[in-house]
Amino acid sequence: MVVDQELTDEEVDRIFRALADSTRRDIVRRTLAAPASVSALAHHYDMSFAAVQKHVAVLEEVGLVTKQPRGRERHVHGNADPIARAQELLDHYEAIWRSRVEQLDALLSETE
């Protein structure tokens, strides 16, 4: 997947802040596998429906999930695009790290 748009520092912060919570990561995982109503999601956690709604709202703010009305319920759908965009950033950092390790390996080879 090629992503044309770079994330701003604020977007990166918001995505990682949203994913820093284990409940929110689990909600993303579940809704990427299959859409679910907020009430169905709430059954998986030892917290109130309102608390689960707040977690979903945080995820929705950063685009990790979307809610679509279906009758009287709202179904939550996972969105992997922000994760892919954040992964591109992490891949960039990994490339920098690997380059430095290669430089260190080269330096150590020279001294042997």
What's the CATH code of the domain at 27?
A: 1.10.10.10
pTM higher than 0.85 for the full model?
no
- Give one word for 69, left, alpha or beta, with left for phi > 0 and alpha for psi -120 to 50: beta
Q: Is residue 1 part of a domain?
A: no
Q: Is residue 2 part of a domain?
A: no
**What tens-digit pLDDT sequence spans the chain (112 residues)?**
444 467 788 988 999 999 999 999 999 999 999 999 999 999 999 999 999 999 999 999 999 999 999 898 899 999 999 988 888 888 988 889 988 888 888 888 887 7
Domain count, the chain: 1
For 3, 11, 19, 100, 102, the CA distances from 108, given in Å and listed in that order, are 37, 39, 38, 12, 10
* Surface-to-core class of residue 27, CB atoms within 10 Å of its CB (0-12 exposed, 13-18 middle, 19+ buried): buried
Domain containing 77 equals 9-111
